Amino acid sequence: MTRPVGQLGHAQIGPSGKECAAVILEVKGLVWKIIEVVGESNESFAKAVMNAVDEAGKTVKQMQWFEATQFRGSIKEGKVTQFQTVVRIGFKVER
């Protein structure tokens, strides 16, 4: 299932039932694709970003940059117990 996302690409419903955005940009003759993933950590937002990039790197090649766009977490008994970060990752499209 897809739906238009502006004029750049389409959002797709992933296996978890959550929407994941995929955007394709063309820059100086190169074609880049942007995916959006959510990383989690019990330690920090930085570790959540690293987990997201590490996991995406298992199947995505040519990753070049990331952008952390949202931060959230869980609190239990007054203590932070989990960190989540939405991360956009840009990579070159192989031709």
Structural domains present in the chain: 2-92 (3.30.1660.10)
pLDDT at position 19 is 52
pLDDT at position 94 is 76
Farthest-apart Cα atoms in the chain, separation = 53
pLDDT at position 67 is 97
Supply φ then ψ for residue 32, to 5 degrees. -115, 145
How many Å apart are CA 57 and CA 19, to the nearest integer? 19
Encoded tokens for 8? 């750049």
pLDDT at position 46 is 97
Instruction: Give the residue from 82, 86, 80 showing the smallest Cα distance to 56.
Output: 86
- Full-model pTM: 0.68
**Which parts of the chain sit beneath pLDDT 50?**
1-18
DSSP conformational letter for 95: -
How many Å apart are CA 52 and CA 87, to the nearest integer? 7
